[in-house]
Amino acid sequence: MAARASSPADLLTRRRWLTSAQLRRALRSRPATVLYVLVAIAYLVSILVLPFSFVASAGLLGAAFVGGLVSVSRRDALTVLTLVVILVYLLPENYVLVGPLRSTGNPALLAGLLALALWAAGRVLGLVEARAAHPVRWLMLAYALASLTAFAAGMTRVLTDTESAGAIRAVFPALAVIGIAMIAVDGLDSRARVELLLRRLVSVALVAAVIGILEFASSTFSYRELMHLPGLTTTTQIINDTRSGFSRIDGAAAHPIEYAVALAALAPLALHFALYDDRRSRRLLAAAALTAILIVNPMTVSRSGLLTLAVGLGVYAVALSRRQRANLVVLGAFGLVLFRSAVPGLLGTLRSLVFIGNTDPSIEGRTEDYAKVPGLLDGHVVFGRGLGTFDPLAYFYLDNQYLGSLLEGGIIGLATLAAVFVIGMGVSRGVRHRATDPALRSLGQALAGSIAALAAAAGTFDELSFKQTGFTLFLLVGAAGALWSQLADRPKLTREQLRASAGPGAGPDAPADAVPADAVPTSSAAPVGAEPVPSAR
C-alpha cells in the first residue's frame, strides 16, 4: 500500500529544529562569515556617519562580536593572522580609523586584539584543542604578567600627562601581540596550515619590498598618499629623511629601520621556500621575494637592516649543504656587482656607515645617552618606571629595545624580553631536532634564523615600539610553537638516526620517494599519517 503523501501541514508539524552541531556548522559557514564582515563594516560606517548614535554603534559591534565568538574555529585562526600580516605590511602604520579611538584605532592593532578575543573565546567555548604545558603559552603568560607588573609599577608614582597617556596606549599593543602568538600556537593545528601562513607572509613581504623599490626609483611615487583610503586619518606625520645623499625608503612602516629589519628578518623563510617548496611556481615566488628583500635592504641605508640580514641568513646557513652555501655566495657576489652598477655609490655609503665606528654622530649620541639610564633606574631596578612611560620626546632616544624594556619593566621586563627570543629560537630548533623530513628541519632552522635576526636587531632600535617588527616577532614565535606542539612527543634525533631514517639519497636535491614523511599530527589527539607532506627539492 502506497504511503499517504504528506500534506503541507504535516511537513510543517514534523519539521525539527537544527541540532547544536548543525547550528554550529551553519554559524561557521562562509555565508555567516560574510554576514559578520558586513556587520563589522556597518559598525564602522555608523561611527563615521552617526558619531553620536552610540546605541546603534554598540548594537552593531555587539552583534559582530557575538558572531565572531560563535563562529571561531581553527580555520579562522589562519584568516585572522593573514589579515594581521596584510594590515601590518601594506597599510601605512600611521593611519588610524576616523573616530574617537585615535592611535588605538590602527587597523593592524585592532586585528591583533581581535586575534586575542577569538583565541580566548575558542578556549572558553572549547572550540580549540590545545596542548597542555606548552612553553610558548607559559611564555605569553609571563609576558602578560611582566607587562601588568610594569603598568602597576608606573601607577605607583606620580606620572606626567604624557607618561600616563603612554602607559594606557602601551597596554593595547601588549595585548595584541599576545593574541597573535596565542592564536597561532593553538589555532594552527597542522604543518600545512603553518606553512600556508608563512608562505603568505613571504608573499606579502614581496609586495612590501616592491613598494620600497618603486619609492626609491621614482621620487614622485608616494605609497602613503596612494593608501590614504576613505575612513582613515593620520595621528602622526612621517617625514622621509636622507642619509649621505640618498632618500631612505620606508614603505608602509613608520621608519626606514623598521622597514629594513622587518623584511630582512623574513629572508631565511623566503630562502627556505625557494629551496624546499613542493611546487615550482611557489619556489619561484619565494625566490622573487628573497631577491626583492636583498635589493630593497640597501635602499633603506640602514645598518640595522644589514645586521638583521647577516644574522638571519647566517643562522639559517646551518641547514644548508656546502654546495648550497657556495652557490649562494657566488649568486650574492654576482648580485652585488649588478646592484653596484644599477645604483652607483649606495654600496660604498653602506660600507662607510658600517666601518665608521664610534665617530658616527648617531652612534656617539646613543652611547652618551646610555650613561643616563642608571639614574633613571634609581629605585626602579626590579619593576621598572612603568609600561609605556618612557617617552623619547620627553627624555631621549634609546634605539635599544633591551634598555627600553629595562627602563619600563625593570629586570623582570628585560628577562621576559630575553625569554621571548630564547624560547622562540628554542622551539624552532626543537622542530629541527625532532623532524626527519629535510624540508621540515629546514623550516625550523629558518624560523630560528628569523627570530635570531630580530634578537640582534633589538639592540639597535626600539623594536617593540613598531608594529611591523613587534607583530612579526610574536607571529614567528607562535608559528614555531605550533610546529613544536606537533612534534613534541617525538624524541630528539641523533645524526645517525637522521641518516638511517632519511636514507642515503635524502637531501634538498633528493627525489620525493627518498624523503621520509614526518608523522605530524593535525590536532593534539590524532596523528596524520595520511596527510601529504611537501617533498624537498
Quick one: pLDDT band at residue 312, thresholds 50, 70, 90?
Answer: very high
Which among 31-45, 90-104, 250-264, 499-513 has the top mean pLDDT? 250-264
Alpha helices in 218-321 (DSSP H): 223-226, 256-264, 267-276, 280-299, 303-316
Single out the residue of 64, 35, 37, 58 nearest to residue 46, CA to CA. 58
Question: Which of 218-222, 308-312, 402-406, 501-505 has the weakest average pLDDT?
Answer: 501-505
The better pLDDT of the pair 181, 2 is held by: 181
Q: Which residues contact 348 (CB under 8 A, 6 or more apart)?
A: none
Mean pLDDT (the chain) is 79
Amino acid 360 reads D
Residue 516: pLDDT above 60? no
Quick one: pLDDT band at residue 383, thresholds 50, 70, 90?
Answer: very high
Question: Which of 147-161, 206-220, 301-315, 362-376 has the weakest average pLDDT?
Answer: 362-376
Q: Is 317:229 a contact under the CB 8 Å cutoff?
A: no
Single out the residue of 73, 182, 184, 190 nearest to residue 127, CA to CA. 73
Q: How far apart are CA 351 and CA 164, in angstroms?
A: 42
| Average pLDDT over every residue of 360-373 | 70
Cα–Cα distance list, 37 to 33, 63, 85, 122 (Å): 6, 11, 18, 19
Q: Is 152:384 a contact under the CB 8 Å cutoff?
A: no
Residue 94: pLDDT above 60? yes
pTM: 0.80
Per residue in 56-67, pLDDT tens? Answer: 445 545 555 555
Quick one: pLDDT band at residue 424, thresholds 50, 70, 90?
Answer: very high
Quick one: pLDDT band at residue 139, thresholds 50, 70, 90?
Answer: very high
Residue matched to cell numbers 652618551: 368
Q: How far apart are CA 380 and CA 407, in angstroms?
A: 8
Q: How far apart are CA 458 and CA 439, in angstroms?
A: 29
Q: How far apart are CA 91 and CA 99, in angstroms?
A: 18
Confidence at residue 234, expressed as pLDDT on a 0 to 100 scale: 85
Cell of 407: 627602563
Quick one: pLDDT band at residue 228, thresholds 50, 70, 90?
Answer: confident
Quick one: pLDDT band at residue 345, thresholds 50, 70, 90?
Answer: low
Cα–Cα distance list, 239 to 94, 96, 248, 249, 334 (Å): 11, 17, 10, 10, 34
Single out the residue of 257, 262, 264, 254 nearest to residue 224, CA to CA. 254
> Which letter does DSSP use for residue 531 in this model?
S
Confidence at residue 23, expressed as pLDDT on a 0 to 100 scale: 55
Quick one: pLDDT band at residue 46, thresholds 50, 70, 90?
Answer: low
> Which letter does DSSP use for residue 95 in this model?
E
Paired strand residues for 247: 242
Question: Using only C-alpha atoms, what is the Rg of the chain?
Answer: 25
Conformational region of residue 170, where left means phi above 0, alpha means psi within -120 to 50, and beta covers everything else: alpha
Single out the residue of 373, 383, 502, 388 nearest to residue 436, CA to CA. 502
Confidence at residue 205, expressed as pLDDT on a 0 to 100 scale: 95
Query: CB count, 10 Å around CB of 249?
Result: 23
Q: Is 254:103 a contact under the CB 8 Å cutoff?
A: no
Cell of 330: 657566488
Question: Which of 320-329, 391-400, 474-483, 503-512 has the weakest average pLDDT?
Answer: 503-512
Q: How far apart are CA 360 and CA 339, in angstroms?
A: 25
The better pLDDT of the pair 75, 490 is held by: 490
Paired strand residues for 233: 96
* 3-class DSSP state of 246: strand
The better pLDDT of the pair 430, 501 is held by: 430
| Average pLDDT over every residue of 506-532 | 40
The phi and psi torsions of 97 (rounded to 5 degrees) equal -70, 145
Confidence at residue 373, expressed as pLDDT on a 0 to 100 scale: 83
Q: How far apart are CA 370 and CA 383, in angstroms?
A: 19
Portion of the chain with pLDDT greater than 70, in percent:
71
| Average pLDDT over every residue of 457-478 | 94
| Average pLDDT over every residue of 193-221 | 92
Paired strand residues for 96: 233
Confidence at residue 350, expressed as pLDDT on a 0 to 100 scale: 60
Amino acid 387 reads L
Single out the residue of 504, 500, 530, 526 nearest to residue 517, CA to CA. 530
CA 153 distance to own-chain centroid: 28
Q: Is 272:322 a contact under the CB 8 Å cutoff?
A: no
Residue 360: pLDDT above 50? yes
Residue 188: pLDDT above 70? yes
Residue 54: pLDDT above 50? no
Q: How far apart are CA 140 and CA 297, in angstroms?
A: 31
Q: Is 183:478 a contact under the CB 8 Å cutoff?
A: yes
Q: How far apart are CA 479 and CA 132, in angstroms?
A: 17
Quick one: pLDDT band at residue 473, thresholds 50, 70, 90?
Answer: very high
